[in-house]
Structure 1
């Protein structure tokens, strides 16, 4: 009775959003609610200063759990809704910008948790940061070069112009394989000589870097199984829909997208299978994972558009990925 009443009151959209975003983290949500209830009870019941011994760890645990929950929720919303809206917007998608947006959003969640915790416990966090900043200026002047290298390492980590084992070339003629990326410097094993070149990270952020390994591609194979034999006119339409669904996705080389059809006959009659070959440009592990998500969304976009034309089919799982590196 209660379930049927809720089904009538709650819209399908709200129910779908709950199942996708909230349900996977119900356990963590229960922890946050429980800690919030305990923290509120401590404030209402006790007035003794000794209660801070219990209240502070509880509040700290609440702040950590709430920020973690917020981060997980944002990731779900980002992957399910924001990426979907971005791919359907018809604009070029910069995967590195989307990664930076996720990073900044998670950072904002952590900062908000720290500020709220400090304000509720009467900690002058802004004064503390200011006092640390004054003292930090003296340290910054004394270790300017070291800080530049450290900041360069952070920039390389965020921007990912190369990763370990990539072959890169520098304007001074250095060419070789990246052996390690440290906080202050990057080690490159030169090709031919085999010597080890140690380059400060601050220098790498100010020069043009040619990433030869980044020219590699990952070939993605998707199979569309149609329930009947597809005629030539429909094949041309299907090929055009597939090309249109991926040409605006940054990171997918739409010029090399290929669609081939194969007819076969079984006990149920004649049918057609289409093999769709995509080439995903690889630049880093993180952006590759994001581009694979975009390819999955493109597959759904293909499915929706073909259904509008009354073309029934199913996508064979899983998608096959084949590395296609270049020769150095």
Structure 2
């Protein structure tokens, strides 16, 4: 009898291999060899145990078999989960991860962990539902009894759940990916280092500090993605028909910076004001070159930035008049395209 079972155990994987080779296409054969073949003997054992468990449940059996049915069923469920984890890992490593790498898409390790966790959770859920269905366990009643505790846990973990759901929204919507440079409405500006379950890490430009932003916050604010965007250096020239003292130069520089720092899309931190004193025969004069850096992702965006720059020039003119500073503004603004280097 034992010999017969051993023969069946060895024949079943061979029968599976023969069926695949005989009736399935080449891609299916390749998938079987890569994913299922390494675990075919384990699958055979689980399959035979599951058949035995079903026979005990359905057919009239002695009392002894009914005693061992529950441990056998639990063992089958655990084995199914374990094999499911292994098979999904094979699919994940061989097909999903390879496909992502072939498309040259940046892959975040935390997102991969999330995908594996969700898949493994689904496998466990299916196993639990099958066990409950075959043993006539009322899961709805059990869940209802745990409902109050679940509600309490949900309220306690509300913020965490919001952040996790925000991470899922970011991953699905993809407003940015790892290594993108983004600019947030609160002034945060830098490179995305990682997108996690609960938060996104941004390495700020210039300071190099690490800013950790909850994902639910990112789903509710304006995000400017600067990767692949355009940067235009807009040059404006001012002429003061006198030699401007250093104290007044500092005031002029501050007026210019204050007039543009609240305009989204103009990198006021990179704004440069360069003064040049020119001595002439009768009197001297001072020229100022203002370098504005306009950031945008397309023609429409850049046109809008240039319109905002015109507003900034009007603000500068008004402020100079309030301080009694006389100047001449060169009408033509020179725009120079420049690659973004952050």
Tell me, yes or no, whether TM beats 0.5: no
Q: TM-score normalised by the shorter chain: which range applies?
A: 0.3 to 0.5
Q: TM-score, normalised by structure 1?
A: 0.44
Instruction: Point out which structure has higher relative CO (alpha carbons under 8 A, 6+ apart).
Output: 1
